[in-house]
Chains A and B, each alone.
Chain A
């Protein structure tokens, strides 16, 4: 076992850390949030120039071919900076799905452009009633001449308004399983309703009424996308743990600094033992989240197995719990200041809590892990 980054990974970490620090100050972030695009096209351009957009993408498609560890390194810094770009949903989740399911032609058409940062992806897999279950959807695809017609409504497609391609899940009439389609959002009749999420990034609802997609816009074979969706959600969860970790570290740091400077009753409030213990508890949660983020990064690219699923589920569960605890306590220990829009801490708290609303919250993963629980002599429930 080796828990250290290698030299190349350390360089990647330094590079992105520097970039985020220089371009993503809190005031700049606020300006990006309020801008038309809701993020920073310039920052994205820099990510692409430095080759960071290509990190998770296979070398065969002009990517860097990074592993879960490289994704972790990148996401942690994007989390620390509260970045608004949908790197995770596009470069890790979206590109992962194309890579796993797509034909060589489809991959060639899409992935090099994604790696270069010229084209972003967004995954439309949640619906109003799906509640994190990617298989329990209502969107339908009906075969038609030379293609399919899509009908349904997708919710909270993160990065959906800026995406060049949307990856849309649907049931094909008459087949079992879930299918995945490449949809050009500029296709006739597609409508997107955009909004910011509570923690800042842009998302949209996607309304599909008899939308035509071509036959070769199906990724993989009909009804064959589910295992790829589960697998790639696992990779995305691992990356999201890292994003949360970066944000937790920053929230923790800001809180610790604040306790040392805030004076009440004639001395810094860091002198109160109850606050010291609270910080010690937060530090404990941070430690567990760090460990599970590393574990998740290291198994994210393993072949699918019960063991991999258990580890990724556990990582998401532990990180979600830690995120909420640290978010709530960081605000509490700040007092009123912690609740103000003007102060980065409040936005970390929002990011940390709202991240648990993607890819399943702690309860979802508690249920998931229970089903996978390994009890000698008994079959598990999955």
Chain B
């Protein structure tokens, strides 16, 4: 056993740092650090820089343009990107639909879609959840009926993250209503420009436009857009979900958020002294830091035990719970660190293009909003209650 990084891994870290130092645009990094809103262009810009270096599709096999990195390399990369303030990778294309296409898709689908994901031509969103199908995803009702060379899709998806930016959506649709719940579902790739699709914003409690409703009214989708076999979509869905959950541990993001918290606590006054010197607040930071250390080690341990990066369901559930709770705990402390300064809701200070003088500090507008926004971490990707059900059933065999 040896938990130290090898000289090769150290060298890799230096290489990543050098890359980030020279390539990450400073204005974008500053927006990320301060918790401000990013534009679609910010994301695309960073994506293109990564892709030029061949570091965008870190989870793909090399044959398709992936990196072939080890688990440890991916971890180092994620950690450094977050520490430098790189935008988080929007997973829907590169880390969700792509692994499904690589695993279950046809050659034609691979050669058409994968390059477009790498180049940023396609922005994907995820059409799983419906108003009546959240935790009970297999209860979904959106119908796809075969009509010649097309499926005709009718129904509604909801909570579609960044659907307003997307030109493509991957959907779970019901192709057989007579079969058992999980068995009549198919995995369909749909062009968002198709006639009959309407996207409506949902504004979240922090005033953010991050999620949407997507309506399908007689949308015609070529049968060639089916991934895998008809009525076997549930297999794709489950494969994708474990990928989604592993990514959600978000250790790099937590570490960056913790560093930001310390920075704020060292700059916020607590009456006379600095908040970071207040014994109680300091102890609270210490507590999350120790816990984060444990979650990081657990993530590395569990990921290292798997070869292809696809994590067994129950373990990815453990990581998802621990990872989301620690991020929420850090966001809670960051909000608290600001005391009364957390109260003002200054949306304009969060919007792109704001480089005016902030009313108080450049970091003070985001923490309350972010704390509320991050409540989502324990809800999406399978709620933490659902993860515990999985652990109880699969890991504990109860």
Binding site for B on A (CB under 8 A): 126, 128-133, 135-136, 155-156, 193, 195-198, 203, 205, 263-266, 269, 272, 274-275, 328, 331-332, 335-336, 338-342, 346-347, 349-350, 353-354, 357-358, 361, 363, 366-367
A272–B385 Cα distance when bound, in Å, is: 10
Mark the stretch among B61-69, B100-108, B225-233, B337-345 that contacts chain A: B337-345
Q: Which residue of B lies closest to A354 (CB)?
A: B343
On whether the beta carbons of B271 and A133 are closer than 8 Å, the reply is yes
Q: Could you list 12 further interchain pairs (A-B, Cβ under 8 angstroms) beyond the known A265-B136, A339-B376, A340-B205?
A: A130-B269, A131-B268, A155-B360, A264-B134, A335-B383, A336-B134, A339-B372, A339-B379, A341-B207, A363-B284, A366-B280, A367-B278
Name the A residues within 8 Å of B379 (CB-CB).
331-332, 335-336, 338-339
Among B269-312, those with CB < 8 Å from A are 269-272, 275, 278, 280-281, 284
On whether the beta carbons of B345 and A339 are closer than 8 Å, the reply is no
A153 → B minimal CB distance (Å) = 10
A229 → B minimal CB distance (Å) = 14
Name the B residues within 8 Å of A196 (CB-CB).
344-345
B226 → A minimal CB distance (Å) = 27
On whether the beta carbons of A128 and B346 are closer than 8 Å, the reply is no
Name the B residues within 8 Å of A328 (CB-CB).
375
A363–B333 Cα distance when bound, in Å, is: 11
Interface of B is mostly: mixed
On whether the beta carbons of B369 and A332 are closer than 8 Å, the reply is no
On whether the beta carbons of B339 and A332 are closer than 8 Å, the reply is no
On whether the beta carbons of B346 and A340 are closer than 8 Å, the reply is no
Q: How many residues of B contact A (CB 8 A)?
A: 51
On whether the beta carbons of B271 and A130 are closer than 8 Å, the reply is yes
Q: Which residue of A lies closest to B371 (CB)?
A: A353
A279 → B minimal CB distance (Å) = 13
Question: Is B115 interfacial (CB-CB < 8 Å)?
Answer: no
On whether the beta carbons of A341 and B205 are closer than 8 Å, the reply is yes
- Given the known interface contacts A128-B269, A332-B383, the answer about A155 and B345 at a Cβ–Cβ threshold of 8 Å is no
- Given the known interface contacts A336-B379, A341-B204, the answer about A126 and B340 at a Cβ–Cβ threshold of 8 Å is yes
A95 → B minimal CB distance (Å) = 21
A133–B339 Cα distance when bound, in Å, is: 11
Question: Is B380 interfacial (CB-CB < 8 Å)?
Answer: yes
On whether the beta carbons of B375 and A332 are closer than 8 Å, the reply is yes
Q: Which residue of B lies closest to A197 (CB)?
A: B343
Among B343-380, those with CB < 8 Å from A are 343-346, 359-360, 368-369, 371-372, 375-376, 378-380
Name the B residues within 8 Å of A155 (CB-CB).
340-341, 360
A130–B273 Cα distance when bound, in Å, is: 10
On whether the beta carbons of A265 and B385 are closer than 8 Å, the reply is no
Name the B residues within 8 Å of A133 (CB-CB).
270-271
Question: Is B77 interfacial (CB-CB < 8 Å)?
Answer: no
Q: Which of these, B129, B340, B383, contacts A132 with CB under 8 Å?
A: B340
On whether the beta carbons of B359 and A132 are closer than 8 Å, the reply is no
